[in-house]
């Protein structure tokens, strides 16, 4: 297990004479054995951030410390050794097409000078870990996307990595395969106690597997903390936009729109009471359900709704007070859902 500390990290690029700031004064602390999510929209800077963790991108300013060791202070040979402890998996798998599955997993061990027979034996152990022992002779072109990602995970573990960086590792996969890969990553985290950092633009990935999350917006840190707390009560506009993400295939019903919108989150102790019906009966005012969903947040099913309330301020306050009295987390929604 490894502890990652990022201090005041800034990364700038020179593009045609202009200075582009990709990351601006980012500070994060990722604890040993944690599954940590870094989320943001496309172009937010999250991939640059994860590549800074292993110094594939050297920061313009600031520090990256692994177990207290400042990567900027390492000599090239020391940095290469440190990088061997940091595995990385990508959206597009990056497998060697001319090598079979076993050869792909052995490749980093061969580069590290490991005995060929020992490398093959360990690669077969890793294939069992990722559930692909029967595919050792197959080539990447013969595998599904999910199988390719499993091989990539096994390859990333081959050098006894203490940290696993996942850069949009599930973005190219269908929802069912994504769930299976996330389940595998969680099992690997629990079995090997590897620190896992997941880069994604999907809040559903973060709520499924991560304990903590940092939200990156235009190169800056918008918000960070425990996933369940941010899911319940997002503070920044960037967090709200990601949490209120529109579901694929669902078209909002414009006729139900109202300027008074709130989001309620059901905790375990409030999940079994017909809260909405009781609120309408008690307050004798109508409301509209604009959206309803259930998400897995840290292994617990959490319900959420977006409600359209009456336009008058007194009714709005009455509904908010009622829901909070019943133990629900309530926040106002600004703009369209």
Does the pLDDT of residue 271 top 70, yes or no?
no
In a domain, 302, yes or no: yes
Answer whether residue 42 is part of any domain. Answer: yes
Residue predicted with more confidence, 220 or 268: 220
pLDDT on residue 7: 96
Residue 247, exposed/middle/buried by CB under 10 A (0-12, 13-18, 19+)?
exposed
Residues 96, 161, single domain; the answer is: yes
The answer to whether residues 225 and 258 belong to one domain is no
Are 60 and 88 within one domain?
Answer: yes
Q: Are 295 and 205 in contact (CB under 8 A)?
A: no
Query: What pLDDT, on the 0 to 100 scale, is given for residue 253?
Result: 46
Residues 41 and 179 in one domain: yes
| pLDDT given for residue 251 in this prediction | 45
Full residue range of the structural domain in which residue 292 is found:
254-333
Q: How many domains does the chain have?
A: 2
SS (H, E, C) the chain: CCCEEEEEEEEEEEECCEEEEEEEEEEEEECCCCEEEEECCCCCCHHHHHHHHCCCCCCCEEEEEECCEEHHHCCHHHHHHHHCCEEEEECCCCCCCCCCHHHHHHHHHHHCCCCHHHHHHHHHHHHHHCCCHHHCCCCHHHCCHHHHHHHHHHHHHCCCCCEEEEECCCCCCCHHHHHHHHHHHHHHHHHHCCEEEEEECCHHHHHHHCCEEEEEECCEEEEEEEHHHHHHCCCCHHHHHHHCCCCCCCCCCHHHCCCCEEEEEECHHHCCCCHHHHHHHHHCCCCEEEEEEEEEECCEEEEEEEEECCCCHHHHHHHHHHHHHCCCEEEEECCCC
Q: Are residues 134 and 48 in the same domain?
A: yes
pLDDT at 85 over 50: yes
How far is it, in rounded angstroms, from Cα 104 to Cα 119?
11
pLDDT digits (tens, 9 = 90+) for 185-196: 999 999 989 999
User: Is the predicted pLDDT of residue 244 greater than 70, yes or no?
Assistant: yes
- Do 123 and 38 belong to one domain? yes
For residue 268, what pLDDT is reported? 63
Q: Verify that 177 and 286 share a domain, yes or no.
A: no
| CATH number reported for the structural domain that contains residue 47 in this entry | 3.40.50.300
Residues 97 and 125 in one domain: yes
pLDDT reported for residue 235: 87
Is residue 246 situated within a structural domain? no
Looking at the predicted structure, is the pLDDT value of residue 116 above 80? Answer: yes
Q: What percent of the chain has pLDDT over 90?
A: 51
Q: CA torsion angle for 114, 120, 123, 124 (degrees, to 10)?
A: -160
Q: How many other C-beta atoms lie within 10 A of the C-beta of residue 121?
A: 10
CA dihedral (192, 197, 201, 205) positive or negative = positive
Mean pLDDT (the chain, rounded):
87
Q: What is the Cα–Cα distance from 195 to 151, expressed in whole angstroms?
A: 19
Residues 34, 128: one domain? yes
Percent of all residues in the chain with a pLDDT value above 70, rounded to a whole number: 93
219 within some domain: yes
Span 142-151, mean pLDDT?
Answer: 94
| 268 vs 226, more confident | 226
User: In this structure, is residue 241 part of a structural domain?
Assistant: no
In this prediction, residue 1 has a pLDDT band, given cuts at 50, 70 and 90, of low
- Residues 138, 231, single domain; the answer is yes
In a domain, 243, yes or no: no
Assigned domain for 249 exists: no
CA distance 46 to 296: 23
User: Same structural domain for residues 25 and 165?
Assistant: yes
Q: What is the pTM of this model?
A: 0.83
19-78 residue pLDDT tens: 989 999 999 999 999 999 999 988 889 889 999 999 999 999 999 999 999 999 999 999
Encode pLDDT of 209-241 as tens digits: 999 999 999 999 999 999 988 988 888 888 888
Check residue 272 and give its pLDDT: 60
- Across 161-176, average pLDDT: 90
Indicate if the pLDDT at residue 97 is higher than 90. Answer: yes
Look at residues 208, 236, 264 and tell me which one is the last residue of a structural domain: 236
- Of the residues 206, 236, 266, the one at which a domain ends: 236
Nearest in space to 72 (alpha carbons), one of 52, 88, 90, 86: 52
> How is residue 169 written in tokens?
């590792």
Residue 293 has pLDDT above 90, yes or no: no
Does any domain span residue 136? yes
- Report the pLDDT value the prediction gives residue 266, as an integer from 0 to 100: 82
Same domain, yes or no: 162 and 300: no
Residue where one domain finishes, among candidates 236, 267, 297: 236
Question: Quick check: 231 and 265 in contact, CB under 8 A?
Answer: yes
Please indicate whether residue 304 or residue 23 has the higher confidence score (pLDDT): 23
- CATH code: domain of residue 296: 3.30.70.260
Report the C-alpha gap between 207 and 7 in whole angstroms. 25
């Amino acid at each position: 297990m490894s502890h990652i500390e990022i201090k005041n990290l800034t990364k700038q690029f020179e593009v045609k004479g202009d200075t582009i700031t990709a990351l601006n004064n980012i500070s994060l602390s990722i604890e040993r054995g944690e599954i940590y999510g870094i989320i943001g929209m496309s172009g937010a800077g999250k991939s640059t951030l994860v590549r800074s963790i292993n110094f594939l991108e050297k920061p313009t300013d600031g520090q990256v410390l692994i177990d207290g060791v400042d990567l900027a202070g390492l000599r090239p040979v020391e940095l290469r050794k440190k990088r061997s402890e940091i595995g990385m998996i990508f959206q597009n798998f990056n497998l060697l097409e001319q090598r079979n599955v076993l050869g792909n997993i052995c490749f980093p061990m061969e580069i590290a000078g490991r005995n060929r027979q020992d490398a093959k034996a360990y690669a077969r152990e890793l294939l069992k870990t990722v559930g692909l022992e029967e595919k050792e002779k197959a080539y990447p072109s013969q595998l599904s996307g999910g199988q390719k990602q499993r091989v990539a995970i096994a390859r990333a573990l081959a050098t006894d990595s203490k940290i696993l960086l996942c850069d949009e590792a599930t973005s190219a996969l269908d929802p069912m395969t994504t769930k299976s890969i996330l389940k595998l990553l969680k099992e690997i985290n629990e079995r090997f106690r590897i620190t896992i950092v997941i880069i994604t633009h999907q809040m559903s990935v973060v709520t499924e597997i991560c304990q903590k999350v940092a939200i990156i917006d235009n190169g800056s840190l918008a918000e960070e903390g425990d996933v369940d707390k941010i899911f319940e009560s997002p503070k920044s506009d960037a967090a709200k936009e990601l949490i209120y993400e529109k579901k694929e295939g669902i078209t909002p019903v414009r006729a139900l729109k109202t300027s008074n919108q709130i989001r309620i989150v059901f905790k375990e102790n409030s999940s079994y009471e017909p809260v909405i019906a009781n609120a309408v009966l008690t307050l004798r005012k109508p409301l509209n359900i604009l959206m309803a969903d259930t998400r897995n947040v840290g292994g617990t099913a959490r319900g959420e709704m977006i409600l359209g309330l009456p336009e008058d301020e007194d009714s709005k306050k009455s509904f908010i007070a009622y829901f909070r009295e019943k133990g629900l987390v309530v926040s106002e929604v600004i703009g369209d859902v």
